[in-house]
Structures are given as structure tokens and as C-alpha cells.
Amino acid sequence: MSRDVNSPYPSLILASQSPRRRQLLADAGYDFIVTPPSESAESGLRGDESPEEMVSELARRKAFDVVGRVGHGIVVSCDTVAECGGRILGKPSDREHARRMLHWLEGNEHRVLSGLCLWRAGTSRYAVAVSVTRLVMESLTDSRIEDYLASGQWRGKAGAFGYQDGHDWLRVLEGSESNVVGLPLELLREMLGMFDRE
């Protein structure tokens, strides 16, 4: 990626395979490279974690996995889930799973949580924080759900929806819109600023 001369931050290493996270970072003008974490970085959770604990721990594990493979810069990792009524909704495994998620969410307020970890390569210095966005999804007809499922836009997205796709049936009530897409840019700027001051 080309360096934004206005960016006050050092080179970033994005520990993610998400095209949406890459696009958000690029659009925000950050200089970064992509080094995805191994699949094993996401395994071995207890299963009784709160959504906040889960996304924090997964973000930390992803950063830890990548930080040992890079020489310098700041590793940025993120993990995002949706949560509705105490039920954690990650990425749907198939179309039927996506349908169930949409039925759980429709007509309800829910949250999108992202754990964000920054880890300075070559050190043991890292920070983890969580961004929470409150949303509401309007009630959907069965035909609207089926049309959406047929589009395939649910694939690879926590809660089976993509806010960035511009659907008029999703509305942010409070919090970061970029968090809903998969990377809370406001929190990233704040954390990078803290790293620079220390």
C-alpha cells in the first residue's frame, strides 16, 4: 500500500484476511501490509466467555500469532461478533445458519463488538480494547430474507449481514459505523495515539 504522507503512525501489519478491514485501513490512509494469522490462533476458547472477553482474547491471539513473524511495525488485529439477547453470532456456516441469524436479529436491537489489539513487533508491549456499536434491524418479510440470502452477501459476515452493503433495514443507534464493518477506526486512532505517547 502507498504511504499517506499525512499519517503520523508507523507502518502497520494487519493480522487479518478480511477484505473489508483492508479496505477500511486503506481508505483511512494508513500504510500497512497484510500478514494473516494462522487458523490455530482462533482455536481453544473455553466457550463460557462474554462477547467482550471472546473478541478481546481472539484479537490478542491473532496479534500474538503474527507478531512473531514480523520484524518491525505495529501488528493490528481485530475480531468481530454480533450479539443479540445474550446469543453470540459469528459468521454463518451456511445459508440455513444465516437464515436463523437474520430471524433472531430482525425487529431487534443488537450489538456488534470488536476486540482490537495493537502489538509492537519485537516487544512484549500490546494493548487490547473493545468497541461496541448498538444497531437495530427492522422486521423483514420472508421474501426479503430469501432475496438477501440468494444474493450471497451474508457470507463471511458476523451476524450474517454487512452494514457496508447499504441495506435500509439496518440502522446504527450508537457507536462506530466502521466497527460494524469490522474495524473500529476511531478506537484504532485512539490506541495508536496512546502507543506514540508511551
Alpha-carbon distance of 11 to 24, in angstroms, equals 15
Alpha-carbon distance of 160 to 82, in angstroms, equals 9
Instruction: Write the single-letter amino acid at 16.
Output: S
Angle, to 10 degrees, between the axis of helix 95-105 and the axis of helix 142-151? 140
Instruction: Write the single-letter amino acid at 4.
Output: D
The helix (run of H) or strand (run of E) holding residue 66 is helix 51-67
Could you give the residue numbers annotated as active site?
79
